[in-house]
Amino acid sequence: MRLAVLKERRAGETRVAATPETAKKLATLGCHVAVEAGAGLASGFTDAAYAEAGAEICTDAAATLFGAGVVLKVRAPLGAGEGEVDELALMHRGALLVGTLEAGANPGRAEAYAAMGLEACAMELLPRTTRAQSMDILSSQANLAGYRAVIEAAGAFDRGFPMLMTAAGTIPAANVFIMGAGVAGLQAIATGRRLGGRVSATDVRPAAKEEIKSLGASFVGYEDEESKNAQTAGGYAKQLSADFYAKQADVVAAHIAKQDIVVTTALVQGRKAPTLVTQAMVDSMKPGSVIVDIAADAGGNCAATRPGELFITPNGVKILGYTNWPGRICAAASALYARNLLTFITTFWDKEAQAPKLPEGDDIVQGVTLTRAGAVIHPSLTATKAA
């Protein structure tokens, strides 16, 4: 079975879907691994390292994809008119495509996969179950994003995180506030604490409160009857009422005015990120304060965020609104992402057929499969179409 690993061509993407470590393991499994030249360079993995791991290095996308039954990607392959190469058109009918395909937000993408006869698996739709944990790209990438956000906040902050006692006087510890305590937020809390900051955090899910406290941060937030049911069966935050958000904002506003660092990570699945930091809150912050908006990819949690940019407000607040936070720590992000995909392929590897076989009744397979045998089959996409 030939397995192709392409160079990522979408703007700003620095990660790669297989590393020399996983390429070696895929080869041991029985794959002939074909890697496009330069695919891992942005993440620090050379062609020589892939070759040493047993991979074939191919000059371009066409040569890499030629005859490939499996294609591993970080982001969705480029389609017609999306860039220099129409990667999709180069894929083979019936090939298994695995990546972060974001078909829900990109109408027409799943239909294109179906038209190409691909078995397309969107790994961001993986169920958050214990069995799926080691394939969970959202968790692995969010964890690193949370870490990186705090490190970049520390770099942008012109004071320091820990209390510094010197003969020349004392510098107080930084007040660090983490908004959203999911995977990214919990790692941000841990990182902020390790650096010596005075850390507080908020979330709407009741379970998050205990997690925040167990990491040694203080909880700041608004709770009522509505927030007792703020979590979906899948563990995600629900969209809450305008009244709840207004009350939450009242509680948070006074706190934010005293913060040096605010890291926002709040997401509501399938929707634009909620605005948690209003313009008035930004205006209330001291000059030199830093806001890091990890939710910038989903529109941002801060009203003043300019997605993709570092913006300094007229009152001197630095807002780091960069997108693709995992891509800002790409060697580690690629290593974990590649292991997530390796686990997926290994879990569904059929030894006799020497190929991955995805059982239709499996909950993981049902969770991620967008298209099969020329049709769009994922319930989230077929339901949208029917509505």
**Residues 169-198 interacting with ligand NAD (rule: CB under 6 A):** 179-185
Binding window for ligand NAD (CB under 6 A); candidates: 35-43, 187-195, 199-207, 375-383: 199-207
What 3-state class would DSSP assign to 34? strand
Instruction: Provide the terminal-to-terminal Cα distance of the chain, rounded to the nearest Å.
Output: 39
Per DSSP, helices labelled H in 33-182 are 47-52, 61-65, 109-115, 137-156
Q: Could you confirm whether 50 is annotated as catalytic?
A: no
Burial class (CB in 10 A: 0-12, 13-18, 19+), 227: buried
- Interface with ligand NAD (CB under 6 A), residue from 76, 276, 336, 370: 276
> Shortest distance, CB of residue 6 to ligand NAD, whole angstroms?
27
- The residue among 23, 65, 28 whose CA lies nearest residue 48 is 23
What 8-state DSSP symbol labels residue 309? S
- Of 23 and 183, which has the nearer Cβ to ligand NAD? 183
Q: Which is nearer to ligand NAD, 106 or 129 (CB)?
A: 129
Shortest distance in whole angstroms from residue 324 CB to ligand NAD: 15
Site for ligand NAD contains 329 (CB under 6 A): no
Catalytic residue list contains 139: yes
Within the chain, where are the H helices? 20-29, 47-52, 61-65, 109-115, 137-156, 183-194, 206-214, 225-228, 242-256, 279-284, 330-347, 363-368, 379-386
Q: Segment 233-262, which members bind ligand NAD (CB under 6 A)?
A: 235-237
Q: Could you say which of 10, 32, 128, 247 contacts ligand NAD (CB under 6 A)?
A: 128
In the complex, least distance from residue 203 CB atom to ligand NAD, rounded to whole angstroms? 4
In the complex, minimum distance from the CB of residue 130 to ligand NAD, in angstroms, rounded to a whole number = 6
Q: CB-based burial of residue 343 (10 Å sphere; 0-12 exposed, 13-18 middle, 19+ buried)?
A: middle
Annotation says 236 is catalytic: yes
Is residue 202 a contact residue for ligand NAD (CB under 6 A)?
Answer: yes
217 with 196: CB under 8 angstroms? no
CA 175/CA 179 separation, integer angstroms: 13
Catalytic residues: 128, 133, 136, 139, 236
List of residues contacting ligand NAD (CB under 6 A): 128-130, 133, 136, 138-139, 142, 179-185, 202-205, 208, 235-237, 265-269, 274, 276
